C-alpha cells in the first residue's frame, strides 16, 4: 500500500520533469489557440473552415505521433537501466521511421480534403478548408522529425529545450498569422490558408531547434551519434511500430471521436461548429497540462521499471494521476464560473457566444476524469502496456459516447449540446476503467519485478 509520504517524495522529481513538458504542450496547443483567435476576426466561415480543417488534420498527425511514441517506453526503460547506447539506437530507428511516416500521412491529409463535400459540409466552408489542409500537410514530415527527437530528449530527462522549441514556435506562428491571414508586411491576404502556411513554418522551426540541439549535445557529450547512423535498425523500427500501433490507435480513437463530432457539428451550421470549436479548444488547452504530466509519468514509470523497482513505478503512476486530477478540478471551476469572458477572447457574435457558453459548462463536468484517464494512459505506456487504453477508448468513445451524443443531438433535438453530453458520458467511463487498469497493472509489475525496494 502506498503511503502519503511516498507520493510527496515523488512529487519533486515528477514536477521537475513535468513542468517543462507541460510548458511545451501548452505552447503546442497555443498555436491552435492563436490560429482560432486570429482567424475568428475574419468571420464565422473562415473560423469554421480552420476548425474543420484542424479536426481532419489532427487525426492523421496524432496517429503519426502516437506511432512514434512506441519508442517512449524503450528509451525511458533503457535510460533507467543505464543503457545509453540502446537509447541512441532507438533514436536513429525513430528518425528513420519519421520521414516516410510523415510523407505518407501528408498525402492522406491532402486526399481526405476531397471527402468534405460528400459529407455534407457547406460549400463556402469547404472552399476555404481544402487549401488550409494542403498547407498543413506540408508541415507533417518536419513534425514527425521533431517528435522522434523529442521522445529521446524527454526519455533522457532533457526536456527544457523541448519546451523552448514549442513555446518559442508560437512567436513564429503569431508573426506568420499576422502577415498571411490579414496581408500585412507586404504579404498576400490568404485568410484560412495563411493560417495553415504559418503553422507549417512554425513546425519546421521546431524541428530545426531540436536538430541543432542534438548536434550540440553530440559534440559536448561526445556521444558520437554518427557511428550509429551507418545501418537501418529494422528490428528496432518494428518494435516501435509494434508498441506504437496500439498507442496510435488509442489516440486516433480519442481524437477521431472529437473530429467526428466537429464534422457532425458542421452539419448544424457555422454558428454551431464555431461554438463547438471554441469550447473544444478550451477543453484541449486545459488538457495539455495533464497530457504533459502523463508524459512525465510515463518516463518516471519507465525509468523505475528499468531499475526493476515496482514500488517506484506504482508511486509515480498514482502521483501523476493525483497531480493531474488536482489541476483539472481547478480548471473546472474556471470554466464553470467564467465562460463568457473566455468566449469573448475569440468572438463577440451573440449566437456563437450562447452555444460556446453552454458547452463550456459541460466541459467543466468532465475535467477531473479527463485528467485521470490521460495520466493513467501515460503510466500504462511507461510500463509497456498500450493495448488496454486502445480497447477502453474504443468502447468508451465509439460505442458509448458518440452514439449517445448523436442520438441526443438529432433524435432528441438537443443539437450540439447533445453531442457533448454523450461524449462526456463516454469520457467519464474511460477515466474510471483506466484507473482500475493501472491498479491491476501494478499488481502484475510486482509479480514480474519482485519486491524490490524503492530507490531514493
Question: pLDDT at position 369, please?
Answer: 95
3-class SS letters over 170-200: HHHHHHHHHHHHHCCCCCCCCCHHHHHHHHH
**CB-count burial class (<10 Å; 0-12, 13-18, 19+) for 14:** buried
Average pLDDT over residues 393-420: 92
Which of 332, 334, 405, 344 has the alpha carbon at shortest distance from 370? 332
Range 132-150 average pLDDT: 90
Could you give the dihedral angle defined by the CA atoms of residues 93, 98, 101 and 102, in that order, rounded to the nearest 10 degrees?
A: 180
Residue 191 CA to residue 93 CA, distance in Å, equals 39
Under 8 Å between Cβ of 371 and 319? no
**pTM > 0.95:** no
Q: Minimum mean pLDDT among 67-71, 373-377, 399-403: which range?
A: 67-71
pLDDT confidence of residue 293: 93
Summarised one tens digit per residue, pLDDT across range 32-75 is 777 877 887 777 778 778 877 887 887 788 778 878 877 877 88
**Position with higher pLDDT, 80 vs 441:** 441
Q: Which of 255-264, 351-360, 439-448 has the lowest mean pLDDT?
A: 255-264
**Residue whose entry in the numeric block shows the C-alpha cell 489532427:** 58
Least confident segment among 96-100, 355-359, 392-396: 96-100
How high is the pLDDT of residue 452? 44
Q: What is the pLDDT of residue 455?
A: 37
Closest CA to 37 of 348, 401, 351, 292: 348
For residue 81, the model assigns a pLDDT of 80
Q: How far apart are CA 262 and CA 352, in angstroms?
A: 15
pLDDT of residue 346: 78
For 107, half-sphere exposure in the C-beta direction (CA atoms, 13 angstrom radius) is 5
- Check residue 376 and give its pLDDT: 96
Pairwise pLDDT comparison (282 vs 449), residue with the higher score = 282
The pLDDT assigned to 2 comes to: 62
Residue 257 to residue 278: CA distance in whole angstroms: 17
pLDDT higher than 70, residue 3: no
Residue 102 CA, chain-centre distance (Å), reads 16
What are 168's three cell numbers?
Answer: 518559442
Lowest mean pLDDT among 16-20, 55-59, 202-206, 293-297: 55-59
Q: What percent of the chain clears pLDDT 70, i.e. is strictly above it?
A: 97
Residue 238 has pLDDT above 80, yes or no: yes
Contact 292, 320 (CB under 8 A): no
CA pair distance 76, 147, nearest whole angstrom: 15
Q: Of 185-194, 209-218, 359-368, which range is least confident? A: 185-194
Alpha-carbon distance of 129 to 52, in angstroms, equals 7
Mean pLDDT of 110-124: 74
Q: What is the mean pLDDT of residues 267-272?
A: 79
> In this predicted structure, what is the pLDDT of residue 270?
74
Examine the pLDDT at 451 and tell me if it is beyond 60: no
> What pLDDT score does 64 carry?
82
Alpha-carbon dihedral angle through residues 149, 154, 157, 161, given to the nearest 10 degrees: 60
Categorize the per-residue pLDDT at 216 as very low, low, confident or very high, splitting at 50, 70 and 90: very high
Q: Which three cell numbers stand for residue 365?
A: 463536468
- Determine the pLDDT at residue 332: 95
Q: What is the mean pLDDT of the chain?
A: 86
> Among residues of the chain, what percentage have pLDDT more than 90?
30
CA dihedral for 208, 233, 17, 252, sign (positive or negative): positive
Residue 53 and residue 343: Cα distance in Å, rounded?
21
35 or 364: which carries more pLDDT confidence? Answer: 364
Q: How confident is the model at residue 454 (pLDDT cuts 50, 70, 90)?
A: very low
Q: Report DSSP letters for 299-330, one per residue.
A: HHHHHHHHTT-HHHHHHHHHHHHHHHHHHHHH
Task: Evaluate if residue 267 carries a pLDDT over 90.
Answer: no
In this predicted structure, the answer to whether residue 122 has a pLDDT above a threshold of 80 is no
Highest-confidence segment of 46-50, 219-223, 429-433: 429-433
Spatial separation of the C-alpha atoms in residues 203 and 102, rounded to whole Å? 12
Q: For residue 34, what pLDDT is reported?
A: 79
Residue 128, pLDDT score: 84
Closest CA to 374 of 303, 324, 322: 324
Amino acid at each position: 500500500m502506498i503511503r502519503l509520504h511516498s507520493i510527496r517524495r515523488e512529487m519533486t522529481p515528477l514536477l521537475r520533469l513535468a513542468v517543462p513538458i507541460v510548458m511545451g504542450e501548452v505552447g503546442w496547443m497555443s498555436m491552435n489557440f492563436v490560429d482560432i483567435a486570429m482567424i475568428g476576426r475574419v468571420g464565422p466561415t473562415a473560423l469554421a473552415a480552420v476548425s474543420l480543417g484542424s479536426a481532419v488534420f489532427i487525426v492523421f498527425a496524432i496517429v503519426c505521433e502516437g506511432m512514434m511514441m512506441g519508442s517512449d517506453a524503450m528509451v525511458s526503460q533503457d535510460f533507467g537501466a543505464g543503457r545509453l547506447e540502446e537509447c541512441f539506437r532507438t533514436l536513429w530507428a525513430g528518425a528513420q521511421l519519421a520521414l516516410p511516416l510523415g510523407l505518407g500521412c501528408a498525402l492522406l491529409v491532402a486526399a481526405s480534403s476531397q471527402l468534405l463535400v460528400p459529407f455534407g459540409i457547406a460549400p463556402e466552408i469547404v472552399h476555404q478548408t481544402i487549401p488550409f489542409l494542403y498547407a498543413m500537410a506540408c508541415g507533417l514530415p518536419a513534425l514527425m522529425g521533431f517528435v522522434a527527437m523529442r521522445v529521446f530528449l524527454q526519455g533522457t530527462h532533457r526536456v527544457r529545450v523541448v519546451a523552448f522549441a514549442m513555446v518559442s514556435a508560437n512567436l513564429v506562428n503569431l508573426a506568420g498569422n499576422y502577415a498571411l491571414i490579414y496581408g500585412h508586411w507586404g504579404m498576400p491576404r490568404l485568410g484560412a490558408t495563411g493560417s495553415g502556411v504559418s503553422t507549417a513554418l512554425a513546425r519546421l522551426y521546431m524541428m530545426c531547434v531540436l536538430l541543432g540541439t542534438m548536434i550540440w549535445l553530440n559534440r559536448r557529450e561526445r556521444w558520437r551519434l554518427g557511428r550509429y547512423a551507418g545501418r537501418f535498425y529494422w528490428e528496432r523500427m518494428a518494435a516501435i511500430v509494434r508498441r506504437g500501433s496500439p498507442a496510435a490507435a488509442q489516440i486516433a480513437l480519442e481524437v477521431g471521436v472529437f473530429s467526428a463530432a466537429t464534422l457532425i457539428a458542421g452539419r448544424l451550421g457555422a454558428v454551431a461548429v464555431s461554438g463547438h470549436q471554441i469550447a473544444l479548444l478550451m477543453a484541449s488547452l486545459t488538457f495539455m497540462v495533464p497530457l504533459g504530466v502523463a508524459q512525465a509519468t510515463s518516463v518516471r514509470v519507465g525509468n523505475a521499471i528499468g531499475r526493476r523497482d515496482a514500488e517506484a513505478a506504482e508511486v509515480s503512476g498514482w502521483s501523476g494521476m493525483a497531480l493531474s486530477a488536482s489541476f483539472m478540478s481547478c480548471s473546472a471551476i474556471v470554466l464553470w464560473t467564467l465562460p463568457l469572458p473566455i468566449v469573448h477572447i475569440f468572438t463577440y457574435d451573440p449566437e456563437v457566444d450562447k452555444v460556446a457558453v453552454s458547452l463550456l459548462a459541460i466541459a467543466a463536468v468532465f475535467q477531473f476524469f479527463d485528467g485521470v484517464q490521460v495520466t493513467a494512459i501515460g503510466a500504462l505506456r511507461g510500463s509497456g502496456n498500450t493495448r488496454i487504453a486502445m480497447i477502453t477508448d474504443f468502447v468508451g468513445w465509439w460505442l458509448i459516447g458518440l452514439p449517445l451524443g448523436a442520438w441526443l443531438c438529432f433524435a432528441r433535438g438537443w443539437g450540439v449540446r447533445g453531442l457533448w453530453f454523450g461524449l462526456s458520458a463516454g469520457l467519464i467511463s474511460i477515466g474510471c476503467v483506466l484507473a482500475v487498469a493501472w491498479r491491476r497493472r501494478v499488481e502484475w509489475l510486482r509479480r514480474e519485478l519482485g519486491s524490490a525496494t524503492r530507490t531514493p
